Structure 1
């Protein structure tokens, strides 16, 4: 933490990064616990096309 702050990151940036890490960690643990499976490459492509058609870029 001291090294990150000394490198120029603000306390708020560190807090935000920790919050993102916690959210992803929780999501991954829940996905594992409930046996979620990853999409196929075709599924990822379809999802990306859906988001791009709706202005997510």
Structure 2
């Protein structure tokens, strides 16, 4: 942790990064537990088009 803080990262930034990691870890574990399957490449493309059409950038 000292090495990270020595690079100029603030304690708050470290907390934020840890919170993001915890959220992704929880999401991944729940996806595994519920048997979530990823979309096909075509499904991802359709989802991207849907979001872009509605102003997501």
Q: Does TM, scored on the shorter chain, surpass 0.5? A: yes
In structure 1, the partner of 2:19 is 19
- Please give the alpha-carbon distance, in whole angstroms, between the structure 1 residues aligned to 2:53 and 2:2: 43
Q: Where does structure 1 differ by over 4 angstroms across 4 or more consecutive aligned residues?
A: none
- Please give the alpha-carbon distance, in whole angstroms, between the structure 2 residues aligned to 1:8 and 1:32: 36
In structure 2, the partner of 1:49 is 49
- Please give the alpha-carbon distance, in whole angstroms, between the structure 1 residues aligned to 2:56 and 2:3: 35
TM-score (norm 2): 0.95
| Structure with greater contact order relative to length (CA < 8 Å, sep ≥ 6) | 1
Matches within 5 A, 1:20-35: 20-35=20-35
In structure 1, the partner of 2:36 is 36
Q: Size of the alignment, in residue pairs?
A: 57
- Please give the alpha-carbon distance, in whole angstroms, between the structure 2 residues aligned to 1:2 and 1:49: 44
TM-score (norm 1): 0.95
Structure 1: tracts of 5 or more residues without a match? none
